[in-house]
Amino acid sequence: MFPKEKIFVLLLAILPILSFAQDIDVGDVEWRKVIVKEWNVDFFLNTNGGGIGFQQGRTPNYFDKHFWEIDFVYNVHHKAVRARNPYFADARGFAYGKLCDLFFLHGGYGYQRTIHQKPYWGGVRIRYTLSGGLSLGLAMPVYLNIATYDYTGLMDGKRVERYDPDKHKIEDIIGRASFFQGIGKTSLHPGFYFKTGFLFDFSKDEYTIHALEIGATVDMVFPFVQQMAFVKAKPCFIGAYLAYNFGKRKGNHE
């Protein structure tokens, strides 16, 4: 899967070169003159999790859009399988071997190019989108409820501890503690991100944005984050995403 994801990202990255060779039929001269600003919120799912984002930008001409964006993404490791210990009646679900929950905070600059304009009777506007900037990885350690035993070997209670694969056996784990238990121990991993894809705007009027976006993302942060105890730390995180965008366009008189 990893080589296929890299090929997908590469193909999306070279498409802007092709888009500049396209002849675009202008069907709405009034929109071309009036629309100068756009903002939108997007909700997205990707192969590694999901998140929410915000964009605000300007359209200096009919074809181009320049924007700033911020995203907050929750990353799920593909080997983090949630389970429950059957030997404890009050057991909570947990992912065995999971060392931390990983989030990415993105802040960057982007560019969109219109490669197919919506005809005057309606339809879909297609844009190629490309963005990148700073990425901050937030690794929040996992805490578990661990069974305690008396001198006879009988369970006499439980305690909350940060997960340690060398110390905690699976049969002693009652379940995960509060999700926010490790928030004070969150470690920061600065780096960068890159995102590219296509946006399909099916809005019914020119001052509203309703669009679907599909593409690929790459995150690389330092030092590398090891999410799972028995899996080597990943140097980068590559995934495909699907997003729904909604927002507004404004003219130069607003």
The full set of domains in the chain, from first to last, is 2-251 (2.40.160.20)
Which of 241, 192, 249 has the alpha carbon at shortest distance from 65?
Answer: 249
Task: Compute how many other C-beta atoms are within 10 angstroms of the C-beta atom of residue 216.
Answer: 23
Q: For residue 147, which phi and psi values (nearest 5 degrees)?
A: -70, 140
18 pLDDT band, cuts 50/70/90, is: very low
Give 200-250 pLDDT, tens digit per residue. Answer: 999 988 889 999 999 999 999 999 999 999 898 989 999 999 999 999 998
Nearest-CA neighbor of 82 among 67, 101, 60, 104? 101
pLDDT score for 130: 97
pLDDT exceeds cutoff 80 at 158? yes
Buried b (16+ CB within 10 A) or exposed e, 237-253: bbbbbebebebebeeee
Mean pLDDT, range 97-117, rounded to an integer: 96
Q: For 43-71, what is each residue's pLDDT tens digit?
A: 999 999 999 999 999 998 888 999 999 99
Using only C-alpha atoms, the chain has a radius of gyration, in whole angstroms, of 23
Predicted pLDDT of residue 90: 83
Of the given ranges (7-11, 122-126, 230-234), which has the lowest mean pLDDT?
Answer: 7-11
* Res 23: pLDDT: 44
